[in-house]
Amino acid sequence: MFSVVDPNYYIGIDLGTSGCRAVAIDQRGTVAGEARVDLPEPLRRGAAVEQDPMCWWQAVDEVVHALLKTISSEAVRAIAVDGTSGTVLLTDPEGRPCGAALMYNDNRAVEEANRIAHTAPAESAAHGTGSGLAKLLWLVAHTGEKATRVATQGDWIAARLTGTPGVSDENNVLKLGWDPVRDRWPKWLQALGISEQQLPEVVAPGAPLGRLKGSLATHWHLPEATWVMAGTTDSTAAIFATGAKRLGDGISSLGSTLVTKVIADRPIFAPEYGVYSQPLGDQWLVGGGSNSGGAVLKHFFTPSRMAELSERIDPEHTSGLDYYPLLQPGERFPVNDPDFAPRLAPRPANDALFLQGLLEGIAAIEAAAYQKLQQLGAPYPERIFSVGGGASNPVWEKIRGRLTGVPMVKPIHSEAAYGTALLARRLLAQA
């Protein structure tokens, strides 16, 4: 039973690669309800990775229904959505999809990426086949749909919620070529045949987009006054969820690869290392990604085996091994060398010692990454928040603290949907 006077709730929806999650929080940020539904696997054909955007909408519908079984729907005040960075589709002027969406890891736009490389400034986040801009150029060239507009995954869902397409947030549009320093669409996009009519209006994450469409309010039994707030990318939402917000806060994502970011007071661009900056309110999030990370660990050990071996490791004493854990030659950051060789030898007979060497090797890369960001002009972190699967290993956390010389801070929350719910809660500041 719900109390007679329920608190206000704010819903965050996260569209990930394998599932759709929703979190409801109250005014204090306390989680009031959670739900998750699976997403179908994208269609893969070589370098092509596509998905029907309607499956996203079906997942959103299902996850909202599931979430509203755990909270009072009448107390919902706002909703925000995040999506995977670089996933785009073309829509007609009313927001209807013109075809399948190209997923963030679709890499077929090689020719288009080459065109961008010869046109865009080096510091733009629109470089590479993974960029939304390369995918937009590919879609226009291969579908003939020129009198259309582009939408990112999160934008398209938000447009379905409000009934008003053509608006995005300043994080989702970085890979479409948005200039975050000058806060505008750059003129060099015209040289690629892209008009501003094809591009969305850009607002800050957490800005109000409009009221929830009446038919959806009825469908979900939500108040007609429910607001839809601008979202962000899934990775940025995960950072919001951690609680990192001070100048000098570092965020390490310990997933398949190692991504290190730090909050700075000015943007920094070092395209030769894949380092770029994105707005974070009045601050900037500066970071880069290594090819090392959890994928190397999983190549040698199952998660359960790693947990078992970790209990045998003394994190205060070094293994004496000098590893640079990579699965194949080539590194992006903090070293930029496509031929950089892995160092994984010698391998001791003791598996616990071998795992310790791997954990120390990745931690040493993390420390070097933050040192490189400092050399480029960012602050060295005063504390580090950890996200991703590797964040749950307490032995690794102690090793990382020893090698970085920085205290490791437990994130407030690890779900991107929670960070997006915080964006929905910004409605309070608008009142």
- CATH code at 113? 3.30.420.40
User: 269 with 400, same domain?
Assistant: yes
Statement to judge: residues 261 and 193 lie in one domain: no
Q: If you count them, how many residues does the chain have?
A: 431
Is 420 a member of any domain? yes
Residue 386 falls within a domain, yes or no? yes
Q: How many whole angstroms separate alpha carbon 64 and alpha carbon 114?
A: 41
Please give the Cα distance from 363 to 205 (Å, whole number).
32
CA distance 144 to 150: 13
Residue 64 resides in a domain:
yes
Task: Kindly state whether residues 32 and 145 are assigned to the same domain.
Answer: yes
- Say if CB 284 and CB 267 are below 8 A apart: yes
Considering the domain architecture, whether residues 70 and 118 belong to the same structural domain is answered as yes
**∠ CA 62-66-68, rounded to 5°:** 120
Segments forming the whole domain that contains residue 186: 9-236+416-430
Q: Would residue 149 be called left, alpha or beta, if left means φ above 0 and alpha means ψ between -120 and 50 degrees?
A: beta
For residue 309, tell me if it sits in a domain: yes
Number of domains in the chain: 2
Is the same domain home to 186 and 276?
no
> Are residues 79 and 40 part of one domain?
yes
Query: Is there a domain that residue 318 lies in?
Result: yes
CB proximity list for 300: less than 8 A, separation 6 or greater: 354, 355, 358
88 and 136: one domain? yes
Same domain (yes/no): 33, 87? yes
Same domain assignment for residues 56 and 170: yes
Residue 21 within a domain: yes
| 422 and 338 in a common domain | no
Beta strands in 212-338 (DSSP E): 227-233, 249-254, 258-264, 276-280, 283-289
Q: What is the pLDDT along the chain (431 residues), one digit of tens a residue?
A: 344 446 899 999 999 878 999 999 999 999 999 999 999 999 999 989 999 999 999 999 999 999 999 999 999 999 999 999 889 999 999 999 999 999 988 889 999 999 999 999 988 999 988 899 999 999 999 887 666 899 999 999 999 999 999 999 999 999 999 999 999 999 999 999 999 899 999 999 999 999 999 999 999 999 999 999 999 998 899 899 999 999 999 999 998 889 999 999 999 988 888 898 999 988 999 999 999 999 999 999 999 999 999 999 999 999 999 999 999 999 989 998 989 999 999 999 999 999 999 999 999 999 999 999 999 999 999 999 998 888 999 999 999 999 999 999 999 998 899 999 999 999 887 76
| Residue 279 and residue 390 in one domain | yes
**Residue 161 within any structural domain of the chain:** yes
Give how far Cα 56 sits from Cα of 10, 51, 122, 157, Å.
20, 9, 33, 8
Distance CA 205, CA 12 (A): 13
- Is there a domain that residue 4 lies in? no
Same domain flag for 80 and 162: yes
